[in-house]
């Protein structure tokens, strides 16, 4: 049946709100990127330097009219003064609660009208921000971002409300075994180092935080000298220069960061937490390897074979598939600015915790002694090369996040192009050497579960 033109005009549809358009564009972009993810590994990254000296890495992409920006300021929760834990997390919840001459309601109304999505968050070593916007609403969105970055208000009502929410979450989790385990683990591993502090704060520390504390913390961290920026989307380099200066150009030249010492995780210790629960949780910590170590990729590939490859790893095969001791198990090299470690974690039936730990120790010992096979290394190389684009380049915000991470880790603007060659160059001997280096030490071990039988290794 043929469709005929309508005889009468219909009423024009109401214009779509920017937020609805943004959501639709994101959905279209996600579908497109899933289909072409492998091709995104060849992204073209431009280094953009604004008139005021703000540097950003840019990937132009006009497939949809979106712009994504992500940025990081060095210095996260490790910069909190002792006794003011939770300061970074509290600050992260207040940037869209009013800025400049706009109180909360006015700021959020303008943000909603622009259709932009803005978020801030804190990590141990950096404070992050991001915004995704429609290209046609760029001016309004960047204006709001500039206000948030430079002139957050920290007004009394939002401060009290966000603080109350954080305290309520803390109290809801204070009896949770996983939360108690996290606190005990970081304290045992890092001792008096800032990494051992509770980044979410405590009810007591949060209650004592003031607007003056927040303003002082903001002024110390937010500066041009510790800033990295990644931008992806429908914007050219010249236009971006102006927006970089608008958002970041008036920040102080240098941050005022407190020195943080390097810390080696405290290994060769046993931590036991008694909880009357049906499952026991196991954690192990071994020495790690810094991201800038020449042997990092050898260690990374070794870990993939050990436990990072999940369903294909030795730990999964021995613990899950052969013995059914756990639903899942994994390992990973955890790199922070001031420390690194190789961590293993799993959960099992309480009455089989000792058996599970013994199997893990056997698998680790064999890897330390013999390393992986040639076939295991070849399979690991193929996987980590193929998975990179899917995990790091599958959305515009993921690409922006990757651009920031590459700058934070000082890997170079051509890292994505060089990465496969770096992986291919790793020899089996180098991987065996990395296995012996990291896995020969006596680990820190924590068991969380019932006391009866759970804390006996034999």
Give residue 252's pLDDT band: very low, low, confident or very high (50, 70, 90): very high
Q: What is the DSSP string of 141-169?
A: HHHHHHHHHH-B---HHHHHHHHHHHHHH
The span from the CA of 356 to the CA of 324, in Å, is 10
**Chain centroid to CA 327:** 25
pLDDT confidence tier of residue 1, bands split at 50, 70 and 90:
very low
Q: Which two tokens stand for residue 333?
A: 């090299």
Return the ∠ at Cα 287 (arms to 285 and 293), rounded to 5°: 140
Mean pLDDT of all residues in 108-116: 96
User: What token pair was written down for 64?
Assistant: 């949809």
Using the CB atoms, write b or e for 185-208: b if 16+ within 10 Å: bbbbbbeebbbebbbbbbeebbee
How large is the average pLDDT for residues 319-332? 96
The residue-averaged pLDDT of 110-114 equals 96
Could you write out the DSSP letters of every residue in 366-422?
HHHHH---HHHHHHHHHHHHHHHHHHHSSSHHHHHHHHHHHHHTT--TTHHHHHHHH
Cα separation, 178 vs 56, whole angstroms: 39
Cα-based angle 286, 176, 270 (whole degrees, multiple of 5): 30
**Residue 323 and residue 313: Cα distance in Å, rounded?**
14
pLDDT digits (tens, 9 = 90+) for 80-99: 999 999 999 999 999 999 99
Q: What's the whole-number mean pLDDT along residues 172-200?
A: 94
- The answer to whether residue 35 scores a pLDDT higher than 60 is no
Q: According to the model, what pLDDT value does residue 420 have?
A: 97
Confidence of residue 31 (pLDDT cuts 50, 70, 90): very low
| pLDDT for position 15 | 45
Percentage of residues in the chain with pLDDT exceeding 70?
A: 89
With 50 as the cut, is the pLDDT of residue 2 above it? no
Span 282-308, average pLDDT: 97
The per-residue pLDDT for 174 is: 87
pLDDT tens across 388-424, in order?
999 899 899 999 999 999 999 999 999 999 999 999 9
Mean pLDDT of all residues in 26-55: 68
Of the pLDDT bands very low, low, confident and very high (cuts 50, 70, 90), residue 42 is: low
For CATH 3.30.830.10, the residue range(s) in the chain are 21-26+41-248, 269-454
Confidence class for position 28, pLDDT limits 50, 70, 90: very low
Euclidean distance between CA atoms 393 and 41, whole angstroms: 7
Q: What average pLDDT does this structure show over 430-453?
A: 92
Percentage above 90 pLDDT, the chain: 86
Cα–Cα dist 421/212, whole Å: 50
* pLDDT tens-digit series, residues 356-370: 999 999 999 999 999
| Average model confidence (pLDDT) across the chain | 91
Scanning the structure block, which residue is given the tokens 């051992």? 196
| Architecture of the structural domain at 21-26+41-248 | 2-Layer Sandwich (3.30)
Say if residue 6's pLDDT is above 50. no
18: confidence class by pLDDT, cuts 50, 70, 90: low
pLDDT grade for 4, boundaries at 50, 70 and 90: very low
Evaluate whether the domain defined by 269-454 bears CATH number 3.40.50.2300. no
């Amino acid at each position: 049946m043929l469709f005929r033109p309508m005889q009468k005009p219909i009423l024009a549809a109401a214009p779509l709100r920017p937020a609805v358009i943004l959501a639709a564009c994101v959905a279209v972009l996600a579908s497109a990127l899933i289909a072409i993810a492998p091709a995104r590994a060849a992204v073209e990254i431009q280094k953009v330097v604004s008139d005021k000296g703000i540097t950003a890495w840019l990937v132009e992409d006009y497939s949809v009219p979106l712009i994504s920006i992500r940025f990081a300021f060095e210095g996260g929760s490790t910069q909190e003064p002792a006794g003011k834990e939770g300061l970074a997390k509290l600050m992260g919840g207040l940037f869209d609660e009013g800025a400049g001459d706009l109180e909360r309601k006015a700021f959020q109304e303008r943000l909603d009208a622009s259709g932009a999505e803005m978020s801030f968050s804190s990590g141990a070593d950096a404070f992050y921000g991001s915004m995704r916007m429609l290209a046609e609403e760029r001016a309004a969105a960047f204006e709001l971002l500039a206000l948030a970055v430079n002139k957050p208000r920290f007004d009394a009502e939002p401060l009290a409300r966000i603080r109350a929410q954080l305290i309520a979450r803390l109290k809801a989790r204070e009896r949770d075994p996983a939360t108690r385990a996290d606190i005990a683990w970081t304290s045992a591993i890092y001792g008096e180092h800032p990494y051992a502090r509770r980044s979410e704060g405590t009810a007591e520390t949060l209650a004592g935080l003031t607007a003056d504390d927040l303003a002082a913390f903001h002024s110390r961290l937010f500066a041009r000298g510790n800033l990295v920026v990644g931008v992806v989307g429908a914007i050219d380099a010249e236009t971006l220069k102006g927006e970089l200066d608008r958002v970041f150009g008036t920040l102080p030249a240098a941050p005022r960061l407190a020195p943080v010492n390097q810390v080696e995780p405290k290994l060769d210790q046993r931590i036991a937490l008694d909880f009357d629960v049906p499952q026991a949780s196991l954690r192990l910590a071994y020495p790690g390897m810094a991201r800038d170590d020449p042997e990092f990729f050898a260690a990374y590939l070794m870990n993939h074979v050990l436990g990072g490859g999940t369903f294909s790893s030795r730990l999964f095969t021995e613990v899950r598939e052969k013995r059914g001791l756990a639903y899942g198990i994994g390992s990973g090299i955890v790199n922070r600015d001031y420390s690194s470690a190789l961590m293993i974690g799993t959960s099992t039936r309480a009455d089989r915790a000792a058996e599970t730990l013994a199997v893990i120790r056997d698998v680790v010992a064999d890897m330390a002694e013999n390393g992986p096979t040639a076939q295991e290394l070849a399979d690991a190389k193929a996987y980590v090369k193929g998975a990179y684009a899917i995990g790091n380049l599958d959305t515009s915000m993921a690409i922006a996040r990757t651009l920031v991470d590459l700058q934070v880790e000082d890997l170079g603007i051509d890292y994505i192009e060089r990465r496969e060659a770096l992986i291919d160059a790793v020899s089996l001997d180098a991987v065996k050497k990395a296995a012996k280096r990291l896995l020969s030490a006596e680990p820190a071990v924590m068991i969380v579960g019932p006391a009866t039988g759970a804390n006996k290794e034999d």
